Structure 1
Amino acid sequence: MDKAHSPFPGGKYMNTKQLEWFRLELQQQLDECERLIEDTKGQDDQASPEGDEADVADYKIQIEQQASAIHRLHIQKRAIEAALNRIDSGDYGYCEETGDEIGLPRLKANPTARLSLDAQERMERQNRLQGAG
Structure 2
Amino acid sequence: MTQGSANEIEDLDAAKRKLPADYTPQDDDDYMGEQQKEYFRVLLLEWKRSIYAAASQTLQSLQDGPIREADLNDRASSETDWGIELRTRDRQRKLISKIDAALRRIDRDEYGYCEVTGDPIGIGRLIARPVATMTVEAQQAHERREKISRDD
Q: Smaller-chain TM-score range?
A: 0.7 to 0.9
User: Residue 95 of structure 2: which of 73, 76, 84 is its match?
Assistant: 76
Q: State the alpha-carbon separation in 2 of the partners of residues 65 and 108 from structure 1.
A: 27
> 1:81-130: CA deviations, max 9, x gaps?
11111101111011111211111111111111011111101011111212
The letter for the 2-side match of 1:113 is A
User: Relative to structure 1, is the Cα distance of residues 125 and 62 closer, same or farther in structure 2, using a 3 angstrom cutoff?
Assistant: same
User: Residue 137 of structure 2: which of 118, 125, 130 is its match?
Assistant: 118
Q: State the match for 2:34 in structure 1.
A: 16
Structure 2: gaps spanning 5 or more residues: 1-18
Q: State the alpha-carbon separation in 1 of the partners of residues 42 and 82 from structure 2.
A: 33
Structure 1 moving runs of 4+ over 6 Å: none
- TM alignment of 1:19-98, pairs within 5 A: 19-45=37-63, 46-49=65-68, 51-98=70-117
After TM superposition, give the deviation of residue 38 of structure 1 in Å: 1.0
Cα RMSD, aligned residues only:
1.8
State the identity as a percent.
30
After TM superposition, give the deviation of residue 9 of structure 1 in Å: 4.7
After TM superposition, give the deviation of residue 50 of structure 1 in Å: 5.5
User: TM-score of the superposition, structure 1-length normalised?
Assistant: 0.88
Report whether the alignment pairs 1:6 with 2:24.
Answer: yes
Q: State the alpha-carbon separation in 2 of the partners of residues 63 and 93 from structure 1.
A: 36
Who wins on radius of gyration, i.e. which is larger?
A: 1
After TM superposition, give the deviation of residue 3 of structure 1 in Å: 4.6
User: Relative to structure 1, is the Cα distance of residues 57 and 11 closer, same or farther in structure 2, using a 3 angstrom cutoff?
Assistant: closer
Give the total of aligned pairs. Answer: 133
